[in-house]
């Protein structure tokens, strides 16, 4: 359509999808426009619940359980296309390979090109293995939905072998004591504890080790939250290994270094890698200005330094808090807040109005699930734990689904996931 303003968004995660939906809200101001959302997958995934997918329905081996687990965390991009009238939003499956600033178009790996008037870079990050030998070949990364399903299948197979008496003990090693590794360890231990209480599994038939290079798990949390999480995991039977680094992974074992002394832990049937993230390698080919950690440098309005009408947000950007001079945390709630600023600034640029800068809060409310109906919610000045923290977390999940979907669709999706994931508790 002649005169249509073309907005291309690369990345359909929290930042990218929310930017698209925020732009649609401003359709009266944007007038003639079209949004193209590009992602390598066909579904939007609510990644904070991936730990539930890993541990869900481990006692069932039919295909219906895997389908139910997927349905609780994912929404097809086609659903969002259908919701937007007049074909203002369309989805393209593909992976970015380059940006031609002179021609105002992006290149995809399959050779296609997409022209743009405004380009939004919202692709996320990838697991950082730090070059440790054997991690790529022998460890399971917990980052995307296919990863979670692979971990679940591996665990399910080991449990099936144990039930048949073909395996004496299942040893799971989780590397990385951040939220992802901590939540997964707690949920899996809570499941094993239930089987133990029900006399369906011996207490000696399983072991979970949580390896963390730093002095404590949840390193970015307050000392009070860290202590609370440690006590909870220890009660669940998780062996926490702080100040421990993985140096190599081999089939059936992992080599660890604790305080400079190296030891080989031979028992490691399942090794789950949650040890860190980094910007995608594809960023290097885009020739954009990046900070020392490899994130795209942006100004307070989220414009990419040195590029006109190119914006970046979410995990791929290195937005620095104007007061603390520290990078904002890589949280879903942060990405969705940033999306509103980017959508508003794209609209303002078309209206030839001054752009707005973002002044984020210095403290964010977080809720970390720690197995079953138990979580710890940090409000900054105080925290709540147990079932009250769990309610805070479930409300946060529901709030997100309601922010991207009509409530008639969001509530059933949330309830479906809640019912499926609670079966292990």
Phi-psi region of 87 (alpha: psi -120 to 50; beta: other; left: phi over 0): left
Q: What is the C-alpha to C-alpha distance for residues 145 and 45, in angstroms, rounded to an integer?
A: 7
Residue 354 has pLDDT above 70, yes or no: yes
pLDDT, tens digit, 9 for 90 and up, residues 207-219: 999 999 999 999 9
Question: Considering the entire predicted model, what is its pTM?
Answer: 0.93
The predicted pLDDT at position 62 comes to 62
The predicted pLDDT at position 169 comes to 85
**What's the CATH architecture for 135-275+365-424?**
3-Layer(bba) Sandwich (3.50)
Q: What is the C-alpha to C-alpha distance for residues 346 and 33, in angstroms, rounded to an integer?
A: 12
Give the residue, 31 or 355, on which the prediction is more confident: 355
pLDDT, tens digit, 9 for 90 and up, residues 302-329: 999 999 999 999 998 999 988 888 889 9
Q: Is 185 exposed, middle or buried, given 0-12, 13-18 or 19+ CB atoms closer than 10 A?
A: buried
Range scoring the smallest mean pLDDT among 170-174, 196-200, 223-227, 296-300: 196-200
Q: What is the DSSP string of 320-341?
A: B-TTT-SBPP--HHHHHHHHHH
The predicted pLDDT at position 284 comes to 77
pLDDT band at 1 (very low <50, low <70, confident <90, very high): very low
What does pLDDT average to over the chain?
Answer: 92
pLDDT band at 87 (very low <50, low <70, confident <90, very high): low
Domain range annotation of the chain? 5-40+94-127+278-350, 135-275+365-424
CATH topology agreement for domains 5-40+94-127+278-350 and 135-275+365-424: yes
Fold (CATH) for 5-40+94-127+278-350: FAD/NAD(P)-binding domain (3.50.50)
Residue 86 has pLDDT above 80, yes or no: no
Of the candidates 322, 329, 344, 324, the residue with the CA atom closest to the CA atom of residue 295: 329
Our CA angle for 27, 30, 33, nearest 5°, is 90
Residue 133 has pLDDT above 50, yes or no: yes
pLDDT, tens digit, 9 for 90 and up, residues 160-199: 887 777 767 899 999 999 999 999 999 999 999 998 998 8
């Amino acid at each position: 359509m002649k005169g249509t303003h073309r907005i291309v968004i690369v990345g359909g995660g929290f930042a990218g999808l929310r930017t698209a939906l925020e732009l649609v809200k401003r359709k009266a101001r944007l007038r003639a426009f079209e949004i193209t959302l590009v992602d390598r997958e066909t579904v939007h995934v609510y990644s904070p619940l991936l730990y539930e997918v890993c541990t869900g329905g481990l006692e069932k081996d039919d295909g219906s359980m895997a389908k139910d687990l997927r349905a609780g965390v994912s929404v097809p991009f086609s659903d969002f296309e259908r919701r937007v009238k007049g074909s203002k939003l369309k989805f393209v499956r593909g992976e970015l390979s380059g940006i031609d600033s002179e021609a105002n178009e992006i290149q995809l790996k399959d050779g296609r090109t997409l022209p743009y008037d405004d380009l939004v870079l919202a692709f996320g990050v990838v697991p950082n293995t730090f070059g440790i030998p054997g991690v790529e070949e022998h460890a399971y990364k917990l980052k995307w939905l296919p990863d979670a399903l692979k971990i679940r299948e591996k665990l399910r197979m080991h449990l099936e072998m144990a039930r048949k008496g073909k395996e004496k003990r299942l040893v799971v090693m989780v590397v990385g004591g951040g939220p992802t590794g901590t939540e997964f360890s707690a949920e899996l231990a809570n499941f094993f504890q239930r089987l133990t209480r029900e006399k369906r599994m011996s207490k000696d038939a399983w072991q979970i080790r949580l390896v963390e290079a730093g002095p404590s798990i949840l390193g970015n949390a307050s000392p009070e939250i860290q202590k609370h999480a440690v006590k909870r995991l220890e009660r669940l039977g998780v062996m926490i290994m702080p100040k421990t680094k993985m140096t190599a992974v081999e089939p059936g074992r992992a080599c660890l270094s604790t305080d400079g002394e190296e030891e080989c832990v031979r028992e490691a049937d399942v090794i789950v890698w949650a040890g860190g993230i980094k910007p995608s390698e594809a960023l290097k080919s885009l020739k954009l200005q990046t900070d020392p950690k490899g994130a795209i440098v942006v100004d307070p309005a989220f414009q990419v330094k040195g590029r006109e009408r190119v914006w970046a947000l979410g995990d791929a950007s290195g937005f620095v808090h104007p007061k603390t001079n520290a990078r904002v945390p890589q949280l879903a709630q942060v990405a969705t807040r940033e999306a509103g600023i980017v959508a508003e600034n794209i609209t303002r640029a078309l209206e030839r109005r001054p752009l707005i800068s973002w002044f984020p809060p210095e403290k964010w409310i977080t809720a970390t699930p720690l197995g079953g109906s138990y979580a710890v919610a940090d409000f900054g000045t105080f925290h709540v734990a147990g079932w009250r923290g769990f309610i805070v977390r479930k409300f946060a999940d529901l709030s997100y689904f309601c922010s991207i979907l009509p409530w008639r669709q969001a509530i059933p999706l949330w309830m479906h996931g809640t019912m499926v994931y609670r079966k292990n508790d």
